[in-house]
């Protein structure tokens, strides 16, 4: 068993200061995507497909353009076609050939809500009138919504030339199956032969939306020389700049993107929808164009995550040792290829140290909006199936579900089925914390049950740039480029303050625009506190080094004869005590005279991101008269590596857990036979509300990541991975029935309980 690392003492890291952007956010002053206004701005609106699948025979905008107050219209004709080219978007890949078709349909509309044209007009009324006046001639085609239906040989084809990748020999016939992936380790046939118990199950999950409260919004202004300013709510403004430049054929440097405050993203704001349209409209209209999506547009036209079908087969010995595991994961990609099936497969069995594993995945297109990343994309779906089977194994073997997991848990040195060997990881510590928790030992009431499940997420690093300026009064200004989606500025300032031994409130952070700082990959993959933190530490250390150099210059002693201790530059060695130590404040004052401004700059590609494991305990109560499931108690336990600001780490655990609770119990995309989304609003797309929930208890486990200066792991995504299986296991015990389909909504639960004679 791994020994817990003794916690070093920090002055700032691990404390809970008020976040630097906090006051602006509690006073209504913070500016989000829709909150900026420019003189002369136009209102941009999008015409969207009423059909799930149709060929576009023609688009006639002439009448619309002639209406009073209509200044510009863009359609497919305003964007050049793109060659097939995959680029990373968060943990997922996008293909420009598809992106150009998703922002404005070309040959066909592929889902209800697919954008067809965008208008800019002097008022909302004029813009709506213009949308109504655009004439689109459609040839309506048969559609397919379900992923299993879409895989059938006679299913309507979305892309007539799509040949399944990853199959040898390559199929000769086009299909809706974009890709097959496979990961294997050992020999599962041999493993199953050794098993005393084998369980094989099929699970279904529905498409669910990220549900950020702020709709997509942007404001674009393009001048006559092609210089463009874009204000947008995004998880990554450099990435959006790249996409816009590519689709518009403009020089990257011409587009300056400023990220507004971002009102939630969860992966869904890593991709572009409105931005290239607003830029193109502004260029045509010679005026700024503001575009804001309605909630209905957000649901119908922006990325949910995949629904899917997950088949899991696992075998174990009587003593609980898992001998083999197989999975087949079929995920909806939406209208264009690119579901998170690869990470879903990689995550599936990552919780366990297994010798024999085989996972196969399929990426399937159907007439739904193209999926976007959603918090640990793919992980929750495959993990729901696997952890549910693990729970059933525990039940059949009569072994405590924590003990069964402890017996098989991934640990340092475990070779994951998807390739790498884990370094120090905290799953065992999380399971032990669960076992020791009050929650695990607490008694249950009638109709209540308790479930537990584990979860994993990789986390990533990547390109990151931070600039830290020492001001003339010793205060500091920090520029980072990963949008702050939930407390990042606080964490970065804390790491800088820890390094520099200054008051954290003497550092003012900003999220810089794309013209002010080097490239930053987006906020996603739980990378921002890890990567921007690493860059911040490097920038801070550069300030220390420069401070020492300046003092040496002032004292006219060699640089090596100066040390940095306790927040002061001190003469050392034979010079010790000969000069008065200087604080950063002193150094700031003399910077101008000793060589100019002191700026720490770190442009890195952050390496060494480490996975975070979590374990969730859920109690539910099931009403046998209605099938309604109520979560009565919940604990989220996770290895944070190191919690820089524990409150925001807890907040990530709690928020992810509650999104998972919504996914487990009520959230789902509901389609009618016409292929149209029936619940494109918060009334019937049922995210959890405050009264649905208990307090969400948290336990932060810290097994530091050795490759980060403060031991940070990413923590944002793992919390959404365990909840569905934990709740499923809990409902099993509360109701006496095991469920294999999400959401576990009341009609399904009541029906199953009645069938089992439990209601």
Partner 1 sequence: MRYEKPTTVEAATALLAGQGARVLAGGTDLLVQMRSRVLSPDVLVDIKGIDATRKITKDASGYTIGAAVTGAELKEHPTLSKDWPGLVEAANLIGSTQVQGRCSLGGNLCNGSPAADSVPGMIAAGAVATIAGPKGTRTLPVEDIMLAPRKLALTAGEFIVSFKIPARPAHGGDAYLRFIPRTEMDIAVVGCGVALALDAGGTCTAARVSLGAVAARPLLVEDGAKALIGTKVDDAALAKLEAAVRAACKPIDDKRGTVEFRIDVAGTLAKRTAKIALERARKV
Partner 2 sequence: MAKHHVTTTVNGDPVEYLCESEQTLLDCLRDELDLVGAKEGCSSGDCGACSVLLDGRLVCSCLVLGVEAEGRSVETIEGMAQGDELHPLQRKFLEHAALQCGICTPGILVAAKALLAKNPDPTETQVRYWLAGNLCRCTGYDKIVRAVMDAAAEMRGA
Rank residues 23 and 597 by Cβ distance to partner 2 and give the closer one: 23
Least distance between partner 2 and beta carbon 427 (Å) = 23
SS3 of residue 429 by DSSP: helix
Binding mask 672-701 for partner 2 (x = CB under 8 A): ---------xxx---xxxxx-x-xx-----
By beta-carbon proximity to partner 1, the closer residue of 297 and 432 is 297
Q: Which residues bind partner 1 (CB under 8 A)?
A: 296, 625-628, 665-666, 670, 678-679, 682-684, 686, 688-689, 691-692, 745-747, 750-751, 754
Of 96-104, 352-360, 603-611, 655-663, which part binds partner 2 (CB under 8 A)?
A: 655-663
By a kind-dependent CB cut-off of 5 to 8 A, residue 261 interacts, out of partner 2, partner 1, none, with partner 2
CB of 170 to partner 1, least distance (A): 41
Check binding of 650 to partner 2 (CB under 8 A): yes
Shortest approach of partner 1 to residue 112 CB, angstroms?
15
CA distances from 750 to 39, 444, 670, 685 (A): 57, 21, 19, 20
Distances (CA, A) of 610 to 197, 411, 461: 33, 13, 9
Name which position in 192, 266, 336, 352 contacts partner 2 (CB under 8 A). Answer: 266
The structure tokens listed for 210 are 């990220």
Draw the binding track, 463-502, toward partner 2 (x: CB under 8 A; -: no contact).
----------------------xxx---------------
Q: Look at residue 736 and give the partner it binds from partner 2, partner 1, none, a contact being a CB closer than 5 to 8 Å depending on partner kind.
A: none
Please, is 551 exposed, middle or buried when counting C-beta atoms within 10 Å of its C-beta (0-12, 13-18, 19+)? buried
Nearer to partner 1, 443 or 747 (CB): 747
CB of 673 to partner 1, least distance (A): 12
Q: Measured between alpha carbons, how far is 638 from 653 in angstroms, rounded to an integer?
A: 8
Contacted by 751, from partner 1, partner 2, none: CB < 5 to 8 Å by type: partner 1
Q: Are 342 and 309 a contacting pair, CB within 8 Å?
A: no
Q: How far is the CB of 698 from partner 2 (least distance, A)?
A: 8
Would you say 78 or 650 has its CB closer to partner 2? Answer: 650
377's CB contacts (< 8 A; 6+ apart) are 90, 91, 92, 267, 305, 340, 343, 344
Residues 192-251 that bind partner 2 (CB under 8 A): 210-215
Given the complex with partner 1, which of 132 and 473 has the nearer CB atom?
A: 132
Mask for 597-636, x = binds partner 2 (CB under 8 A): ----------------------------------------
Instruction: Give the DSSP H/E element, type plus range, for residue 46.
Output: strand 42-48
Other Cβ atoms within 10 Å of 470 Cβ, number: 26
Contact 358, 349 (CB under 8 A): no
- Rank residues 577 and 694 by Cβ distance to partner 1 and give the closer one: 694
Would you say 29 or 751 has its CB closer to partner 1? 751
Which of the choices partner 2, partner 1, none does residue 131 contact, using the CB cut-off of 5 to 8 A by kind? none
- The site partner of 626 among partner 2, partner 1, none (C-beta below 5 to 8 Å per kind) is partner 1
Within 556-632, residue ranges assigned H as helices are 584-590
3-state helix, strand, coil in the chain (%, to 5): 30, 25, 45
638 binds partner 2 (CB under 8 A): no
> Would you give the end-to-end CA distance of the chain in angstroms?
45
**Phi-psi domain of 674 (left: phi exceeds 0; alpha: psi -120 through 50; beta: other):** alpha
- Pick the closest to residue 726 from 351, 458, 358, 354 (CA basis): 351
What own/partner pairs with CB < 8 Å and gap ≥ 24 does 23-29 have? 25/261
Say if residues 117 and 73 touch (Cβ distance below 8 Å): yes
For every residue of 247-261, which 3-state class applies, written as one string? HHCCCHHHEEEEECE
Q: Which residues lie near partner 2 (CB under 8 A)?
A: 16, 18-19, 21-23, 25-32, 34-35, 37, 125, 210-215, 261-266, 292, 294-295, 485-487, 645, 647-648, 650-652, 654-659, 681-683, 687-691, 693, 695-696
């Amino acid at each position: 068993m791994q020994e817990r690392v003794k916690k070093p003492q920090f002055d700032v890291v691990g404390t809970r200061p008020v976040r630097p952007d906090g006051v602006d956010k509690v006073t209504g002053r913070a500016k989000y995507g829709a909150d900026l206004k420019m003189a002369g701005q136009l209102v941009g609106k999008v015409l969207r497909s009423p059909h799930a699948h149709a060929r576009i025979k023609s688009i006639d905008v002439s009448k619309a353009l002639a209406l009073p107050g209509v200044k510009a219209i863009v359609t497919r004709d305003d964007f050049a076609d793109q060659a097939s080219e995959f680029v990373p978007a968060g943990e997922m890949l996008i293909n420009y050939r598809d992106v150009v078709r998703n922002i404005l349909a070309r040959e066909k509309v592929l889902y209800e809500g697919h954008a067809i044209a965008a208008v800019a007009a002097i008022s909302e009324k004029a813009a709506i009138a213009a949308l109504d006046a655009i004439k689109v001639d459609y040839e309506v085609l048969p559609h397919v919504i379900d992923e299993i239906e879409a895989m059938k040989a006679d299913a309507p084809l979305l892309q007539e030339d799509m040949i399944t990748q990853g199959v040898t020999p390559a199929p000769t016939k086009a299909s809706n199956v974009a890709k097959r992936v496979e990961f294997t380790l050992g020999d599962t046939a041999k493993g199953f032969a050794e098993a005393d118990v084998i369980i094989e199950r099929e699970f279904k999950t529905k498409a669910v939306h990220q549900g950020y409260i702020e709709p997509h919004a942007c404001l674009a202004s393009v001048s006559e020389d092609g210089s463009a300013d874009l204000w947008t709510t995004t998880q990554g403004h450099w990435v959006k700049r790249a996409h816009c430049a590519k689709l518009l054929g403009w020089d990257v440097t011409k587009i300056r993107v400023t990220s507004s405050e971002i009102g939630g993203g969860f992966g869904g704001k890593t991709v572009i929808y409105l931005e290239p349209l607003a830029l193109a409209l502004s260029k045509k209209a010679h005026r700024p164009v503001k575009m804001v999506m309605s909630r209905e547009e957000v649901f119908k036209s922006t990325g949910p995550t995949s629904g899917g079908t997950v088949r899991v087969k696992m075998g174990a010995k009587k003593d609980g040792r898992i001998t083999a595991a197989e999975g087949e994961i079929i995920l909806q990609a939406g209208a264009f290829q690119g579901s998170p099936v690869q990470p879903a497969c990689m995550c599936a069995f990552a919780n366990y140290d297994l010798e024999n594993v085989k996972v196969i995945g399929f990426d399937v297109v159907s007439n739904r909006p193209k999926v976007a990343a959603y918090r640990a994309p793919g992980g929750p779906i495959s993990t729901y199936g696997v952890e549910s089977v693990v729970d059933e194994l525990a039940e059949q073997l009569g072994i405590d579900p924590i003990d069964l997991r402890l017996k098989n848990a991934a640990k340092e040195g475990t070779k994951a089925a998807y390739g790498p060997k884990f370094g120090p990881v905290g799953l065992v510590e999380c399971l032990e914390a669960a076992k020791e928790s009050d929650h695990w030992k607490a008694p249950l009431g009638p109709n209540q049950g308790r479930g537990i499940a584990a979860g994993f997420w990789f986390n990533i690093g990547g390109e990151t740039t931070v600039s830290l300026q020492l001001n003339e009064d010793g205060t500091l200004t920090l520029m980072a480029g990963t949008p702050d989606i939930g407390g990042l500025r606080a964490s970065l300032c804390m790491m800088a303050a820890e390094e520099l031994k200054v008051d954290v409130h003497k550092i003012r952070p900003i999220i810089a625009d794309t013209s002010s700082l080097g490239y930053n990959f987006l906020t996603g993959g739980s990378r921002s506190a890890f990567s921007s933190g690493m860059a911040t530490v490097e920038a801070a250390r550069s300030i220390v080094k420069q401070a020492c150099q300046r003092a040496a210059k002032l004292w006219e002693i060699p640089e090596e004869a100066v040390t940095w201790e306790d927040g002061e530059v001190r003469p050392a060695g034979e010079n010790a005590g000969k000069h008065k130590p200087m604080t950063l404040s002193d150094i700031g004052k003399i910077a101008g005279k000793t060589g100019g401004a002191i700026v720490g700059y770190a442009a890195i590609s952050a390496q060494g991101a480490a996975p975070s494991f979590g374990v969730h305990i859920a109690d539910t109560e099931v009403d046998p008269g209605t099938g309604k499931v109520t979560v009565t108690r919940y604990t989220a336990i996770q290895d944070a590596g190191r919690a820089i600001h524990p409150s925001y780490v807890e907040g990530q655990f709690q928020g992810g857990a509650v999104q998972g609770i919504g996914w487990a119990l009520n959230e789902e995309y509901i389609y009618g036979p016409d292929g149209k989304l029936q619940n494109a609003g918060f009334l019937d797309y049922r995210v959890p509300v405050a009264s649905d929930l208990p307090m969400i208890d948290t336990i932060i486990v810290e097994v530091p990541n050795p490759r980060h200066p403060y031991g940070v792991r990413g923590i944002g995504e793992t919390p959404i991975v365990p909840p569905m299986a934990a709740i499923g296991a809990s409902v099993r015990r509360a109701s006496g029935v095991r469920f294999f389909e999400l959401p576990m909504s009341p009609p399904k639960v009541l029906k199953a309980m009645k069938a089992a004679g439990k209601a």
